[in-house]
Amino acid sequence: MWKQWITAIRATVVLSLLTGLLYPALVTGLARVLFPRQAGGSLITVNGKVAGSELIGQKFTRQEYFRGRPSAAGDGYDAANSGGSNLGPTSRKLIERVQADAAAFRRENPDFHGPIPADLLTASASGLDPHISPASAEAQAARVARARRAPEEQVRRLIAARTEGRQLGFLGEPRVNVLLLNMDLDRAWPANRPR
Amino acid sequence: MTANGWLQIAVFFLVILALTKPLGIFMEKLFEGRGTRLDPLLRPIERGIYRFCGIREDREQRWTEYAISLLVFSAVTLLVTYLIQRLQGWLPLNPQGLGTAHAAQGAAAMTPDLAFNTAVSFTTNTNWQSYVPETTMSYLTQMLALATHNFFSAAAGIAVAIALVRGFARHSAEAIGNFWVDLVRATVYVLLPLSVAGALLLVSQGVIQNFHGYTAATTLEGGAQTIAQGPVASQEAVKMLGTNGGGFFNANSAHPFENPTPLSNLLETLFIFLIPAGLTYTFGRMVKDTRQGWALFAAMSVLFFAGVLVTYASEQAGNPMLAGLGVQSQASASQPGGNMEGKEARFGIPASALFAVVTTDASCGAVNSMHDSFTPLGGLVPLINIELGEVIFGGVGAGLYGMLMFAILAVFIAGLMVGRTPEYLGKKIEQKEVKMVMLAVLTLAASILLFSGAGAIIQFAKNSWVNPPGPAVANLNNGGPHGLSEILYAYSSGTGNNGSAFAGLNANTPWFNTTIAVAMWVGRFLMIIPLLAVAGSLARKKVVPASAGTLPTHGSLFVGLLVAVVVIVGALTFFPALALGPLVEHLLMQQHKLFSMVMFGWWS
């Protein structure tokens, strides 16, 4: 019996070193050589300053930018505190939130008619979802164009260029990266960039 | 539901089907000690470990010694994990200073009950998380205290399954293998190589792997955003392959740094089923009749597709109350429709529904969407999957030994119907085996239902330190029947060693941390020990030659019987509780009934 404890302690030491230190160190080394950008978080730098990550959504509130999805991470898109709303389908809080957001959306986008795409009114699982559906981007195109004093046609062309199809043709959903799309807007109409 | 959605599900299943045989053969050779193709590379490491630990490779153990080795190893690693968590403030690789006086604002405390709950959680392959990792756990804690268990608890699960299969495969034998050898082989030959390859595939998709401090970013609108970093990919790969499920981040596999693309999502979903599916073939090879393995595979597949169908259909149908508010609920080419609350845009409905079913078929518990926000029937399936014992492919090892437990029960029931002594794989199933199996079944059910019942009614006094004063249901995030589902899910997930959650429940209080820890311990070891006893008892028996009266256990009749036994045992045990939770919520949702969190005024 005593011998079992000695074996257990030794096995814990050697297997912990192997799987808890050597293994992550090996993966880190290989990742840094093979995929340095991805391993570091796919960061975007603007003028030498980190402006965010391509994979992590940001909070957008201004009319001149496309909005992302509602976020339950911290006080919205807190990338050090991820999470969803965890509201169930019969939660009064959920229904009232969607109702309020839907009303606000229709107020800000008077040119949009018809049902609002579901992803635009529902909180993502991570609270950091970088994407919206193409329909959700289209629904905001008229508003953004007006705020930017830009032709709507050109804004829609930016959306089309930023729309990613299903991966390998069948995986996941078509989507638009909101941060990258908004950076496209700033590049296309730098003068109308909000300050 | 869309054709493309079903295509994703079909591709997932076909890849698993294709990998089952090669991986199954590899594991059979490995655990029977017949040498593998990886020997030139890994055999020296394996031998080095034996030498260091004083393990005699050729010395086998009786079931009691095998069980004691497992328990002792679990106890030692449990203690180490507890200590590392409590001491993380003094240890290196902690750029955020978590657990120290100069931790960033918003950092959470590592209390004794939280450290205990987490240590039990990872030791038992549950990976229930009462904490928010990015504000609680240092990089060293994640790697050395938590991810190590992703290897150990998975390897131990494989070891137990292999030992049980040896019980069927051997006759007139005392020993069922050597726990230490099985543990080391599962770690070094199966989990490590797959994890290295898997981690690199994930990094290629954008999963991060670094030791940087959190990145400070200035957003496009000029706001500040702190972006959590860390050695994620190495943990992510083994988290899925070992059916552990403990996320590096709070949002788990929904977090873009854990699961950035639809392809990484498919890989992670595949990793969950890979080893459990392979083990069904290993089983067939070891008992010298691969049809027996495919029979289990078939039964698992039937239950898998039933679950996917229900969850996918319910999630795509969505919430009628949102449709009433002018929200698009139909899918189209440019938007997903359905119930997108708690789901990621890149995955959409089918990949989220598939993941939720797979992660609870297996005892994984990783999530790429928030189960708490699923429609009542969509969330019912994960809950039932866990309560059926996670035998649909199941946890690594745990799925196979769980399904073999039901197979014993199935032949026993068939034997009762025709009045013959039941046999399975040439072994007479007698009183002892059935008693042990029933002990496991009843203990798990009791743990889930008694703890959930207590959680639903218990009240805490004004000066209570184990939970905020007032009723425990005040810890919930949802009222009405959904609240009951949250409690039921918590103890089902704990007992079933799953680890996913209806995460609205605030479980980080001494009361929930301790009771869920007990549920996890019961669910792990009061299943494993009886089954090792069965293994020991079976190994000792002689083989009975098959006769005209023997029920063949490789045909569709047996598959049907096995599926029925799994469903009936689960339904008889849990239907009343489920009726009060998700089933009634479904009916109320159709009538547009809403619930607030009930506030009891007297203690606040």
Residues contacting A185, CB < 8 A, separation 6+? A64, A65, A66, A144, A148, A155, A158
Kindly identify which residue of chain A lies nearest to residue B185, measuring between CA atoms: A15
Whether residue A33 sits in one domain with residue A17: yes
Whether residue A145 sits in one domain with residue A97: yes
Instruction: Inform me whether the pLDDT recorded for A191 exceeds 80.
Output: no
Token digits of residue B322: 């949102």
* Chain B: closest CA distance from residue A109 (Å): 14
Q: Which of B36-45, B53-62, B91-100, B308-317 has the lowest mean pLDDT?
A: B91-100
Instruction: Inform me whether the pLDDT recorded for B278 exceeds 90.
Output: yes
**Does the beta-carbon distance from B184 to A21 stay under 8 Å?**
no
| Chain A residues closer than 8 Å to B340 by CB | 118-119, 122
B170-201 burial: b if 16+ Cβ within 10 Å, else e: beebebbbbbbbbbbbbbbbbbbebbbebbbb
pLDDT interval class at B381 (50, 70, 90): very high
Query: What pLDDT sits at residue A192?
Result: 62
Asked if A63 reaches chain B (Cβ–Cβ under 8 Å), the answer is no
Output the furthest CA–CA distance in chain B (Å, rounded): 79
For A166, the closest of B180, B262, B328 (CB atoms) is: B262
Strands A163-164 and B215-218: unpaired
Q: What CA–CA distance (Å, rounded) separates B4 from B312? A: 12
Query: What pLDDT sits at residue B546?
Result: 87
Q: What CA–CA distance (Å, rounded) separates B433 from B58? A: 28
Q: What CA–CA distance (Å, rounded) separates A145 from B193? A: 52
Q: What are phi and psi of B315, to 5 degrees?
A: -70, -35
Asked if A168 reaches chain B (Cβ–Cβ under 8 Å), the answer is yes
Q: What are phi and psi of A45, to 5 degrees?
A: -110, 135
Query: What pLDDT sits at residue B601?
Result: 45
Token digits of residue B257: 């740094």
Whether residue A18 sits in one domain with residue A51: no
Kindly identify which residue of chain B lies nearest to residue A80, measuring between CA atoms: B228
Whether residue A146 sits in one domain with residue A102: yes
Token digits of residue A46: 């603007």
Domain that holds residue A16: 1-40
Q: How many domains does one find in chain A?
A: 2
Q: What CA–CA distance (Å, rounded) separates B599 from B150? A: 40
Domain that holds residue B593: 429-546+571-603
Whether residue A173 sits in one domain with residue A90: yes
**Does the beta-carbon distance from A84 to B8 stay under 8 Å?**
no
Output the furthest CA–CA distance in chain A (Å, rounded): 80
Are residues A58 and A179 in contact, defined by beta-carbon separation less than 8 angstroms? yes
Instruction: Inform me whether the pLDDT recorded for B374 exceeds 70.
Output: yes
For B594, the closest of A59, A95, A106 (CB atoms) is: A95
Are residues B319 and B375 in contact, defined by beta-carbon separation less than 8 angstroms? yes
Helix (H) or strand (E) holding B423: strand B423-424
Q: How many domains does one find in chain B?
A: 1
- Of B568, B562, B9, B565, nearest in space to B294 by CA: B562
Query: What pLDDT sits at residue B125?
Result: 95
Residue B226, beta-bridge partner list? B216
In a domain, residue B321? The reply is: no
- The string of pLDDT tens digits covering residues A163-180 is 999 999 999 999 999 999
For A19, the closest of B187, B214, B220 (CB atoms) is: B187
Q: Indicate the average pLDDT of chain A.
A: 95
Instruction: Inform me whether the pLDDT recorded for B394 exceeds 80.
Output: yes
- The mean pLDDT value for B542-553 works out to 90
* Chain A: closest CA distance from residue B285 (Å): 29
CA distances (Å), origin B86, targets A109, B112, B118, B243: 52, 7, 11, 26
Residues contacting A55, CB < 8 A, separation 6+? A41, A42, A130, B206, B256, B257, B260
Asked if A180 reaches chain B (Cβ–Cβ under 8 Å), the answer is no
Instruction: Inform me whether the pLDDT recorded for B474 exceeds 70.
Output: yes
- The string of pLDDT tens digits covering residues B68-79 is 999 999 999 999
pLDDT interval class at B547 (50, 70, 90): confident
For A79, the closest of B72, B226, B482 (CB atoms) is: B226
Whether residue A121 sits in one domain with residue A87: yes
Q: Which of B56-65, B176-185, B418-427, B519-528 has the lowest mean pLDDT?
A: B418-427
**Does the beta-carbon distance from B325 to A135 stay under 8 Å?**
no
In a domain, residue B219? The reply is: no
Whether residue A55 sits in one domain with residue A11: no
Q: What are phi and psi of A6, to 5 degrees?
A: -60, -45
Token digits of residue B285: 């090879």
What 3-state class would DSSP assign to B62? strand
Asked if A192 reaches chain B (Cβ–Cβ under 8 Å), the answer is no
Instruction: Inform me whether the pLDDT recorded for B466 exceeds 80.
Output: yes
Whether residue A74 sits in one domain with residue A24: no
Instruction: Inform me whether the pLDDT recorded for B507 exceeds 60.
Output: yes
Instruction: Inform me whether the pLDDT recorded for B193 exceeds 50.
Output: yes
Query: What pLDDT sits at residue B603?
Result: 42
Whether residue A20 sits in one domain with residue A87: no
- The mean pLDDT value for B589-601 works out to 80
- The string of pLDDT tens digits covering residues A18-70 is 999 999 999 999 999 999 999 999 999 988 899 999 999 999 999 999 999 99
In a domain, residue B478? The reply is: yes
* Chain B: closest CA distance from residue A150 (Å): 19
Query: What pLDDT sits at residue B102?
Result: 78
Instruction: Inform me whether the pLDDT recorded for A2 exceeds 60.
Output: yes
Instruction: Inform me whether the pLDDT recorded for B604 exceeds 50.
Output: no
**Does the beta-carbon distance from A133 to B322 stay under 8 Å?**
no
Whether residue A79 sits in one domain with residue A158: yes
Instruction: Inform me whether the pLDDT recorded for B497 exceeds 60.
Output: yes
For B220, the closest of A87, A126, A183 (CB atoms) is: A183
In a domain, residue B460? The reply is: yes
Instruction: Inform me whether the pLDDT recorded for B600 exceeds 70.
Output: no
* Chain A: closest CA distance from residue B55 (Å): 7
Q: What CA–CA distance (Å, rounded) separates B279 from B401? A: 10
In a domain, residue B487? The reply is: yes
pLDDT interval class at B598 (50, 70, 90): low
Q: How many Cβ contacts (< 8 angstroms) between chains A and B? A: 421
Q: What CA–CA distance (Å, rounded) separates B258 from B241? A: 14
For A19, the closest of B151, B206, B327 (CB atoms) is: B151
* Chain A: closest CA distance from residue B602 (Å): 23
What percent of chain B lies above the pLDDT cut of 90?
91
Using alpha carbons only, give the angle B367, B370, B376 rounded to the nearest 5 degrees: 120
Query: What pLDDT sits at residue B109?
Result: 85
Query: What pLDDT sits at residue A195?
Result: 57
Whether residue A153 sits in one domain with residue A69: yes
Q: What CA–CA distance (Å, rounded) separates B237 from B198? A: 5
Whether residue A60 sits in one domain with residue A112: yes
Q: Indicate the average pLDDT of chain B.
A: 95
